[in-house]
Structure 1
């Protein structure tokens, strides 16, 4: 419930910003325009910029809310919504340049293009690494879950390894990765406050549950046969 409330507050903030800029002419909220000189401001069609800025804020609020609902209740990755959001933001920012008749250097335009490219690149790389499945390496004295947010579990700390059909209701991520859908890695907290480690690739069971003296670990793969095979190797 908390994440949805938090997302709703963010959406309301964007809606309020959109209304303030487009309807109530709070142009001082527009970054860049509020630092321009009077001469520079006179060359800006601020009313058109404000109108499009308002629309952009409404679209951002809509996409954030829909993305959060879809990822929360339908376990669909939030990546398409983030890509769409970035395209809209950079698209609007580039489009609104036509209403600013102040001369801009090529370097200023290049900076905007480079920032956009870097943002997309970082996002794609982050999701690519985060979405990779973690491998289980079995050693004589330990079980190693390698990859991002991996962990080494000492044999002496392991109480039980079993196959379960479901995992408890997840509260929130404390130190880990989630694509907003099924994929979850790292440290999470359950609704009851209990700490768990997740290496989950699918929201459908079965899951390998490794109970240790300190926490429980849940692992599964998109391919059910791979989950079953990994469990048999651990037995």
Structure 2
């Protein structure tokens, strides 16, 4: 919670700093592409008020994110998604609005580019979140077991070194490659005491099934405690006793 709040606060302060530098100190070089334009275009953009409007956009975005920051400290599970979504939609929508202050001969192209960027980015983010929230399942077939869905794979049951049912999920300290969503963690994360691990976890939904393989750690739980317990029992039955 505090880590997420710190990251969001850093972004807010960065936006405020950029807004102050652009609006008060006329650091227009901070605006992407501005410093590479011909002097005539730069002057026309300044006369149109485009740099100042860009600074205002960053300022209002920062203020909006600051107002949403207290959500992180509540029981609301989707605080990160709401704040990130606000930032993305407001900024990208703002870039479309700023196209009206572009120089006349480039205004139409700017509208088109900004609109396509908005649609493409929002579509990509929605697609990623959909993929992240896709369901998964643990399946056992003969001498193999499989975890379905994104980041899933197939392993030999003979490679299992240990299977445990945990009442509490160990602390996850770092996301290496995966989705750290409001109610689900899926992908590769660093787990305290275990190191790099593969997670398929519905948050705050114990128990958690821990599977140790050669050089690999997996944490997974089902939709219900009974489903997780069933996976645990099924895996234990497949483990061959040592000769």
Q: Tell me the TM-score range normalised by the shorter chain.
A: 0.7 to 0.9
List, as ranges, runs of 4+ consecutive aligned residues in structure 1 with deviation greater than 6 Å.
Answer: 1-4, 71-74
In structure 1, the residue corresponding to 2:35 is in which secondary structure?
Answer: helix
Q: Cα gap change, 1:161/1:46 in structure 2, threshold over 3 Å: closer, same or farther?
A: farther
In structure 2, the residue corresponding to 1:43 is in which secondary structure?
Answer: helix
> Quick check: 192-201 or 62-71, which moved more?
62-71
> Quick check: 137-146 or 193-202, which moved more?
193-202
Alpha-carbon distance, 1:86 to partner = 1.7
Which residue of structure 1 aligns with residue 239 of structure 2? Answer: none
Which residue of structure 2 aligns with residue 134 of structure 1? Answer: 136
Which residue of structure 2 aligns with residue 25 of structure 1? Answer: 26
Which residue of structure 2 aligns with residue 219 of structure 1? Answer: 220
Q: 1:111 aligns with which of 107, 110, 113?
A: 113
2:178 counterpart of 1:176 = yes
Which residue of structure 1 aligns with residue 240 of structure 2? Answer: none
CA RMSD, Structure 1 to Structure 2 (Å): 3.2
Alpha-carbon distance, 1:127 to partner = 0.9
Which residue of structure 1 aligns with residue 88 of structure 2? Answer: 86
Alpha-carbon distance, 1:178 to partner = 2.0
Query: Aligned pair count?
Result: 234
Which residue of structure 2 aligns with residue 149 of structure 1? Answer: 151
How far, CA to CA, are the matches of 2:30 and 2:174 in structure 1?
Answer: 33
Q: Any stretches of 5+ residues in structure 2 without a counterpart?
A: 237-243
How far, CA to CA, are the matches of 2:188 and 2:67 in structure 1?
Answer: 25
- Report 1:3-22 matches (<5 A): 8-22=9-23
Confirm or deny: 8 A CA contact 1:174 1:187 kept in the other structure. Answer: yes
Which residue of structure 1 aligns with residue 99 of structure 2? Answer: 97
Q: Any stretches of 5+ residues in structure 1 without a counterpart?
A: none
In structure 2, the residue corresponding to 1:34 is in which secondary structure?
Answer: coil
How far, CA to CA, are the matches of 2:75 and 2:222 in structure 1?
Answer: 20
> Quick check: 93-102 or 13-22, which moved more?
93-102
Confirm or deny: 8 A CA contact 1:171 1:189 kept in the other structure. Answer: yes
